[in-house]
Amino acid sequence: MKAYSIEIYQPKFKSAWNTFVTHSKNATFLFQRDFMEYHQDRFEDFSLMVFKKGKLVGLLPANRVEDELHSHQGLTYGGLLLLKDVKFETVLHSFEVLLKFLEEHKITTLYLKEIPAIYHRIPSEEVHYLNFILNAQLVRRDTLSVIDNQHQIKFSGSRREGIKRAQKHELRIVNDDDFKAFWNTILKINLSIKHNAEPVHSLEEILWLKEKFPQNIKQFNVYQGQQIVAGATIFETKNVAHCQYISGNGDKNNLGSLDALHDYLINEVYAEKRYFDFGTSNENNGKNINEGLQFWKEGFGARTMTQDFYKIEIKNHKELHTILK
C-alpha cells in the first residue's frame, strides 16, 4: 500500500487531470476541469488524485460539505475515474487508500453517485462491487430512459402520428446552436410555468460551455416558418447522445414538433451512436416517476436503466482489506 498516494487537486494539476480524463475508461467531457469549474463559486472543490508509484491511476471529482464528501454535486454523475488498462487489484487499493485519506482529513461520509454504465467505454464497475463490501447504503436510485441503437424498438403509434403532424405543418429542424432563442423563448418560460424553476445552466453558462466544448454540446431547434417552436440541447459523449434539455411551446402537441425533432435526432443525427439517453423522469429524490414524461420517452422505444447513489461510512474502509485471498 506504500506504493499509493493521494493528492488534493490544485490548478497546477489541470493538464494532467484533463489528459487522464481523455484516456479514462469511464470518464466523459463533464469531468474536464473547464466544465467542472464553470460554477466553482457554488462548491468547495475537494477533488482527489490517486497515484501508484508516482503514476496517476485514478481521479475522484468531488466537493466537500463540512465532514461529508460528495461526488461533485455540480455534475450529473461521478465516482472514481480509472485508466483503461487498470486491473481490479489496483482499483481496490486505490479506493482503500482514498478512504483512509478522507478519514485522516476528518471526513466521515462519502456520497457517491455512480456513472451509468452506458457512459463507460469498457466495463468499469469495480467500485460498484466495493460498495457492497463497504456495506454502502443505497440512498437513491434514478431511472434513465435509454434507446440502444443496436436493438431499436419501433416508435409507438402516437409518436408516429406526431411526426406526421410535423410534416403537415412543414416544420424545419436545424442544428443552428441558437441557444439564446431556445433559452429565452421556450425553455425558461416552460420551466417557470410548470415547475417555478430555472434551467440548471444559465444562458451565459451554456454559451461559455459551448465555446469550451464545441463538439460535445449542440443545440437543435425546430421552426414553423421563422418562429422557433421547440428545441433540444444535446451533450455528446463517445457512446451516448444525451438530451440535457427538451422543450416545446404550447402548440407542441398540435404541431408534433418534439416528436419530429427526436425522430430526426435518433434516426438521422445520432443513428451511429450506441445509445440515445433521454435522461431521468424521476421526481421526489427518485421515489416517483412523471408518468406522462415516461410514456412519451418510451414511445420512441426508450427503455429503463438505472443510476445508483450511495452513502459510504468512511470508517468501513477496513472491510476492503479482507477481499483478496
DSSP characters over 100-125: HHHHHTT--EEEEEPPPGGG-SS---
Q: What is the mean pLDDT of residues 73-102?
A: 96
- Dist CA 195 CA 245 (whole Å): 14
The model's confidence at residue 195, banded by pLDDT at 50, 70 and 90, is confident
DSSP state letters, 248-310: E-TTHHHHTHHHHHHHHIIIIITTTSSEEEEEE-EETTTTEE-HHHHHHHHTTT-EEEEEEEE
**Which pLDDT tens digit goes with each residue over 51-68?**
999 999 999 999 999 999
| Residues of the chain above pLDDT 70, percent | 100
Helix residue ranges per DSSP H, the chain: 14-23, 33-36, 88-104, 126-133, 157-168, 179-182, 188-195, 203-212, 252-255, 257-264, 291-298
Between 120 and 1, name the one with better pLDDT. 120
| Predicted pLDDT of residue 296 | 96
**pLDDT value at 1 more than 80:** no
CA 239 to the chain's CA centroid:
12
Q: Are strands 137-148 and 275-280 parallel, antiparallel or unpaired?
A: antiparallel
**Which pLDDT tens digit goes with each residue over 209-266?**
999 999 999 999 999 999 999 999 999 999 999 999 999 998 888 999 999 999 999 9
The model's confidence at residue 288, banded by pLDDT at 50, 70 and 90, is very high
| Predicted pLDDT of residue 4 | 96
| Predicted pLDDT of residue 52 | 96
- The count of C-alpha atoms lying within 13 angstroms of the C-alpha of 269, restricted to the half-sphere facing its C-beta, is 22
The model's confidence at residue 41, banded by pLDDT at 50, 70 and 90, is confident
Sorted by where each starts, the structural domains of the chain and their CATH numbers stand as: 4-140+308-322 (3.40.630.30), 151-273 (3.40.630.30)
- Dist CA 238 CA 118 (whole Å): 10
Q: Which three cell numbers stand for residue 279?
A: 435522461
- Dist CA 71 CA 189 (whole Å): 31
- The count of C-alpha atoms lying within 13 angstroms of the C-alpha of 294, restricted to the half-sphere facing its C-beta, is 14
Q: What is the mean pLDDT of residues 162-191?
A: 96
Using DSSP, state whether 160 is helix, strand or coil. helix
301 — alpha (psi -120 to 50), left (phi > 0) or beta? left
**Which pLDDT tens digit goes with each residue over 129-138?**
999 999 999 9
Q: Which of 166, 185, 147 minimizes the C-alpha distance to 267? A: 147
**pLDDT value at 154 more than 80:** yes
| Predicted pLDDT of residue 148 | 98
For the chain, how far is it from start to end, CA to CA, in angstroms?
Answer: 16
**To 10 degrees, what angle do helices 88-104 and 126-133 make?**
50
Q: Are 306 and 74 in contact (CB under 8 A)?
A: no
| Predicted pLDDT of residue 2 | 86
Instruction: Count CB-CB contacts under 10 A for residue 196.
Output: 7
| Predicted pLDDT of residue 256 | 96
| Predicted pLDDT of residue 193 | 86
Q: What is the mean pLDDT of residues 188-205?
A: 90
**Which pLDDT tens digit goes with each residue over 23-38?**
999 999 999 999 999 8
**Which run of H or E residues covers position 178?**
none
The model's confidence at residue 300, banded by pLDDT at 50, 70 and 90, is very high
**pLDDT value at 128 more than 90:** yes
Looking at residue 45, the DSSP 8-state letter turns out to be B
**pLDDT value at 8 more than 90:** yes
Q: Chain-wide mean pLDDT for the chain?
A: 96
**pLDDT value at 275 more than 80:** yes
| Predicted pLDDT of residue 40 | 86
